[in-house]
Structure 1
Amino acid sequence: MSFIAVVPARLASARLPEKPLLDLCGKPMVVRTAERARASAASRVLVATDHPRVQAAAAEHGFEGLLTRADHPTGTDRLAEVVQRLALPDDTVLVNVQGDEPLIEPDLIDAVAQLLLNDPAAAIATCASRITALETLLNPNVVKVVCDHAGRALYFSRAPIPWARDAFARRPDTLPDDLNALHHIGLYAYRAGFLRRFGMLAQGPLERWESLEQLRALENGHAIAVHVTDRHPPPGVDTADDLERARLLMAASLI
């Protein structure tokens, strides 16, 4: 298995200023994320950022950093620039390991890369875990995905999908045991050839309404393969509370 792990990291963050550089048990968060990527089977780990300070932090800890444009609307667009700048062959597989996921499991990175390598008809591979609590299904901050019988994504939404109409009519406060609802995990594998085309794809109404970039691929007819894992990874870092939780979890793992 051969793939490149790319950690996109944008310095500005409305909810958590300078998020990639925040301390996480002695190292910047972007470095902790890159370390998780390095523990995977990736042949190369690259931090793609919009700011020289993040690039310098990566280099200080032995990671390759690439300075990219500041106007990318999504991490996928930033990876597309990486592909162009490095002139990567179309069949190169890249895994987008988001810079605010410092606790991501390396074997999950490997699983998503392997899924794409095994599925030449898919443009993207991603992952999900089963939802076991009603409040998770109903939470609009939790992205859900529904798949076909082949494990390809049919749709991603912040809405509670699938909706068990009859079961919820009988017991609106109970998640049905047989409801195969999936919590999408924002980890993606792409081929370089698809990333070259991604920026030229039209942004459709579904992506704009849901604010989910993966819908751009579905709206334009590209298949997304989904790996379902038995365990959901620890949450990423979006808020100060998330950061403190990540610090506690990482400190416990380093003891």
Structure 2
Amino acid sequence: MSDVLIAIPARYASTRYPGKPLVELRGASGERRSLIRRSWDAACAVAGGAQVVVATDDDRIAEHARGFGAEVVMTSESCANGTERCADVLERTGLTPGIVVNLQGDAPLTPAWFVEDLIAALRADDSVDVATPVLRTDSEALAGFREDRLNGRVGGTTAVFDRQGRALYFSKEVIPYTGRDFAPGEDNPVFHHVGVYAYRPAALGRYRDWPTGPLERWEGLEQLRFLENGAAIRCVEVEARGRAFWELNNPVDVSRIEAILAEQGID
């Protein structure tokens, strides 16, 4: 995978959780590692030897990342989201990978095969310019989504897509509406959108030229810019393989993720 670049966008000034990349998370053995370090570890676990960089505009994050051996690319403070930051990495470095992966810096529990499946999807179909993973929720995960919304927290994102896997919409609300609960082990139609993307470089170039649209602005979801401009996103259904997945969106998620790290035996 020498033609694959994995970029980990990280910014300090998060609206919901300032300083989030430097928050420490305790692993199963009690060792504490920062969120950005755990995200870096997740990226380095992807098979094939892709180049991995931390993309940030903050000196505190950059210094910390270099301290654990990460390659850092300083990006513009004007980048509005991780997709723009990935595009900025290419512009500033002159790198010419065949595929760019955006591994969000708040998703340390991302299994390596999620990323590998995205890369495989782009390699298998030249018509796919952007791909992202979706994970069917179980009853526990769905309850977590509903709990966040009930308590006024903006938590994970859900996705709906057509029979060919083309994204129809992404939302911070729980979609599709079901009107009922689901028993443990029962399939439900709600898919958790995992905040990872694989792009062809040309798609990143087009993205930066488009203005921010109203849906992207209202939902706060960068991927909606593609849909608002008629660009397709391939949703790739991935399997959990017994691994729990959750992103760090709010301070309450620290304990959730630490519990998963302990349960899964992840240091």
Instruction: Report the TM-score when normalising by structure 1.
Output: 0.86
Q: Note the 1:96-135 alignment, pairs <5 A.
A: 96-133=102-139, 135=143
Residue 61 of structure 1 is matched in structure 2 by 68
Residue 3 of structure 1 is matched in structure 2 by 4
Q: Deviations over 1:152-184 (max 9, x none)?
A: 1122223443345xxxxxxx4335967533221
- C-alpha deviation, 1:26, in angstroms: 3.3
Q: Distance in 2 between matches of 1:67 and 1:85?
A: 9
Q: Pick from 122, 143, 148: which aligns with 2:162? A: 148
Q: Would the aligned equivalents of 2:137 and 2:191 in 1 still touch at CA under 8 Å?
A: yes
Q: Deviations over 1:202-248 (max 9, x none)?
A: 32222223222111101111111111123274211223332233334
RMSD in angstroms over aligned alpha carbons? 2.5
Higher deviation after alignment, 172-181 or 241-250? 172-181
The letter of the residue matching 1:9 is: A
- C-alpha deviation, 1:189, in angstroms: 0.6
Are residue 238 (structure 1) and residue 249 (structure 2) matched? yes
Partner-residue secondary structure (3-state), 1:199: helix
Partner-residue secondary structure (3-state), 2:72: strand
The letter of the residue matching 1:238 is: N
Q: Would the aligned equivalents of 1:97 and 1:188 in 2 still touch at CA under 8 Å?
A: yes
Which stretches in structure 2 are left out of the alignment for 5+ residues? Answer: 26-30
Q: Would the aligned equivalents of 1:137 and 1:144 in 2 still touch at CA under 8 Å?
A: no
Q: Distance in 1 between matches of 2:245 and 2:187?
A: 24
Q: Would the aligned equivalents of 2:136 and 2:188 in 1 still touch at CA under 8 Å?
A: no
Q: Would the aligned equivalents of 1:121 and 1:223 in 2 still touch at CA under 8 Å?
A: no
Q: Would the aligned equivalents of 1:123 and 1:191 in 2 still touch at CA under 8 Å?
A: yes
Q: Note the 1:10-89 alignment, pairs <5 A.
A: 10-24=11-25, 25-41=31-47, 42-89=49-96
Q: Would the aligned equivalents of 2:118 and 2:236 in 1 still touch at CA under 8 Å?
A: yes
The letter of the residue matching 1:50 is: D
Q: Pick from 186, 199, 209: which aligns with 1:190? A: 199
Q: Distance in 2 between matches of 1:136 and 1:217?
A: 28
Q: Would the aligned equivalents of 1:11 and 1:20 in 2 still touch at CA under 8 Å?
A: yes
- Aligned identity (percent) is 36
Q: Distance in 2 between matches of 1:87 and 1:28?
A: 29
Higher deviation after alignment, 108-117 or 72-81? 108-117
Q: Distance in 1 between matches of 2:224 and 2:266?
A: 38
Residue 224 of structure 1 is matched in structure 2 by 233
Residue 174 of structure 1 is matched in structure 2 by 181
Q: Would the aligned equivalents of 2:248 and 2:254 in 1 still touch at CA under 8 Å?
A: yes
Partner-residue secondary structure (3-state), 1:77: helix
Q: Would the aligned equivalents of 1:10 and 1:50 in 2 still touch at CA under 8 Å?
A: yes
Summarize the Cα distance change of 1:64–1:181 in structure 2 as closer, same or farther, 3 Å threshold. Answer: same
Q: Would the aligned equivalents of 2:160 and 2:175 in 1 still touch at CA under 8 Å?
A: yes
The letter of the residue matching 1:23 is: E
Partner-residue secondary structure (3-state), 2:101: strand
Instruction: Report the TM-score when normalising by structure 2.
Output: 0.82
Q: Distance in 2 between matches of 1:136 and 1:250?
A: 17
Q: For this pair of structures, how many residues does the alignment match? A: 247
Q: Distance in 2 between matches of 1:220 and 1:152?
A: 14
Q: Distance in 1 between matches of 2:36 and 2:209?
A: 29
Q: Distance in 2 between matches of 1:186 and 1:101?
A: 7
